[in-house]
Structure 1
Amino acid sequence: MDIFTKFNRKSIDDRQIDTLIGLSKGMVADGRINQAEAEALLNWLMQSRQASNNPIILNLLEKVSTMLEDGVLDDEESAELFSILRKVSGDSSEIGEVAKSTSLPINKPDPEIIFVGMSFIFTGTCAYGTRKQCQEAIESLGGINAKSVTKSLNYLVLGTYVTDSWVHENYGRKIEKAMRYRDDGVPLVITTEEHWINSGNLG
């Protein structure tokens, strides 16, 4: 069972998700997301939020709101939003597909995750819920939410929507920094959202 199905089984056929998939297909058709499209998406998400607690809607609303809070969708933000919507525009099994270990620098085999007293930070967009919901889950398990990637960080969790092209995304800087520390011998673990969820019995 892929992670999207696991958390959104009842919502796959939801009209909102169907509409979102349709919107996403239209927006990525020309290969880029412009300012007007992002603003239209934000308006739709704000309206949809009133009748939904679906994490896909909540995540996108949080993400797009942040991108447009300065009133400008810059090239980096446009590229990231395009990447997310391209993923969403696929079928249900693709929406929550966790990028393969061959293209993401995750620790293999999946390491044991210890929560109590350990520090965590998320990057990319998560299927579990909003960034705040993920952080609350960490705290409920006795973990600590870090503010940035440092040598004292224990776990970097890659959201389900981190794509194969992470190097070109703005969240790629966190991943690159964590990789450098890990390569230098720092015991920092890079893992997937799916493994984090399974380890914390959050499903």
Structure 2
Amino acid sequence: MKNINTELLKVLTSKSQADKAISSLKGLLLGIMSDNEITEKEIIELSKWVAVHKELINRNPFNEFMTVIENSISNKIPPKETIEDLYWLCQKYENDDYYYSTVTSDLQILQGICHGILADGIISDKEIYSLQEWLDENEHLNSYYPYDEIRSLVFSVLADNRIDDEEKIVLMAYFKQFAAIQDDQIRQKIQDETIDVNISGLCTSEPDVTFEGKTFCITGVLKRGNRENLQRDIIKLGGIPTESISKKTDYLIVGDNGNPAWVFSCYGRKVEKAISLRKEGHTITLIHEFDFSDLIDDLL
């Protein structure tokens, strides 16, 4: 494998790269269109996306597609028409066999949607409601990251039927994990506005834990100690250890599985159940075992 020529490797992976780019672009366009307003900043971000993917232009069947994109942007076609034409091209391309599975392609689209929503550095109410509609229409992704966490977060934001500025900043902080913003000015704006927001994906990185009378469940293989000792520590601090997840569970301690990103994979049964309950409105905090062990060490 080490002796494979770099150019040959590019040829061998061109189909996967093209399909991934198309899925991401489709999501980017959906995000841009989600509020029915196309701004100059969004078109600039789109043009920068094209520049980043320039190398794909010389690869069939992507060359014609990318050329149309470049022409659409450079010829000053009205922004709304440009976006609609490009989305139509994405759908046309989907008629070919995809390199990736439907699930992976849809997750790539979701990543693109986050990019499109952030393309102008602003999140509007309409964009959030449009995202909610897309999430509701793609429930087949409900055990996959980051769909599950994004849906849970959006559900929480919309639970009281109002969206405040602080909630938009939290969404912005979460979305930026999946959006490779190309425009330096927009990227810096997002960074500045979210600098005080701590987002950690699946598990809470700085858990605020109340032990007295609260219910704790453990899942996965622990790298530090064992379940029996951890359960004894929970009891010492006033907590109640249980073997299964339910609506009464307050905290799920997640054993380290060697893959902290959990990217594009199915969760374990208990984690999936906890996320499902969170989507229904139940408050269950997921904590990585290392963070939980550090907390207990400080208290005992």
TM-score, scaled relative to structure 1:
0.43
Greater CA radius of gyration, 1 or 2? Answer: 2
Structure with larger RCO (C-alpha < 8 A, sep 6+): 1
Considering fraction of residues, name the structure with more helix: 2
